[in-house]
Amino acid sequence: MKILFLHGWHSVPGGVKPSYLIQHGHEVNNPALDDDDFDKAIQTAQAEYDHHQPDVVVGSSRGGAVAMNIRSGSTPLVLLCPAWKRWGSVKQAKPGTVILHSEADDVIPFAESRELVQASGLPENALIVVGDDHRLADPEPLIAMLAACENVRTNC
């Protein structure tokens, strides 16, 4: 499966989460996104999306906001602690989106993901509570991220 992975603010390509997806047999495109200019980050993500036509878009934190703001058609989104209230203009996630978030996140309040699910009309089970912090880089959230990617693609 082809995955476009959009990293968070002040993160870099090749981190734990995209590496985990690669280790499990997926083709992952993980472009460097501009940390200072959100519009440039969207432009980069859109160009990568258009070029690679991924099966799933994964966005982590600020990358989740980027994912919500690109034109991705019917491609499902998997959002990891999305920072949608801080960046971008899109205030609803598209149908089929899955959100993973830790209730112990000290960077992006868990309540923001609950609000996004409600504002988007997503089912309650679209929000998966997992992990012990914002990074979601421990085994449990990594397994949940992989399952979410494989499940959203299967259910499309």
Instruction: From 90, 112, 87, select the one nearest 101 (Cα to Cα).
Output: 112
The secondary structure of residue 125, as a DSSP letter, is: G
Burial class (CB in 10 A: 0-12, 13-18, 19+), 50: exposed
Domains and CATH numbers, the chain: 2-154 (3.40.50.1820)
Taking 70 as the threshold, does the pLDDT of residue 155 lie above it? no
Cβ atoms within 10 Å of 62's Cβ, excluding its own: 26
CA distance 112 to 46: 25
pTM, two decimal places:
0.96
* Residue 26 neighbours by CB under 8 Å, 6+ apart: 1, 2, 3, 149
Average pLDDT across the chain, whole number: 95
What is the percentage of the chain residues whose pLDDT exceeds 70?
Answer: 97
